[in-house]
Amino acid sequence: MLPRRILAIAAGSLLMLAACSSSTSSSPPASAAASAPASAAASAPASAAASTAAVCSTSGDAGAVSVSIKNFTFTPAQPSAKVGQVIKFSNDDSTAHTATLDDNACGTGNINAGAANGLVFTAAGSYPFHCAIHQQMKGTITITQ
């Protein structure tokens, strides 16, 4: 009776291991995954490609364009800047906020009350954004050459 139990446990363990290892083989090869976004971006219109590429980074530098965050609102909600200019988000609310691109390509991170952080873009385009903490807060950044 004991050998049957051991055999049953061993067989069950082998089945679990086989199930775990087969799940990794169902994912596409790295080359297929890497080529899919490239082909999708190549067929997308230029404005959509700029929006999904969303080339931006954070900056603590003084902003050429200022956006105030107060009463759970971005003011202005439609800021415009040129490539390379810093858009400074100043939090004048009593709680933390973010300015995060809708495609999550980049964002300011948490900006605590009384603090500021900026974004600088390297490509022209239209970039919808929101506060990742308070989803109802929205706007669109326009970047020109």
Domain ranges of the chain: 54-144
- Region 54-144: CATH code: 2.60.40.420
pLDDT, position 89: 98
Cα 91 to Cα 47, 50, 96, 106, 107, distances in angstroms? 30, 27, 7, 18, 14
pLDDT, position 104: 93
| Tokens of residue 51, six digits | 């929006």
pLDDT above 90: residue 21: no
Give the rounded percent of residues in the chain with a pLDDT score beyond 90.
Answer: 60
Question: When comparing pLDDT for 122 and 54, which is higher?
Answer: 122
Predicted TM-score of the model (pTM): 0.64
Give per-residue burial for 106-122: e unless 16+ CB within 10 Å, then b.
Answer: bbbeebeeeebbbbbbe
CA distance 87 to 44: 27
Q: DSSP assignment, residue 141? A: E
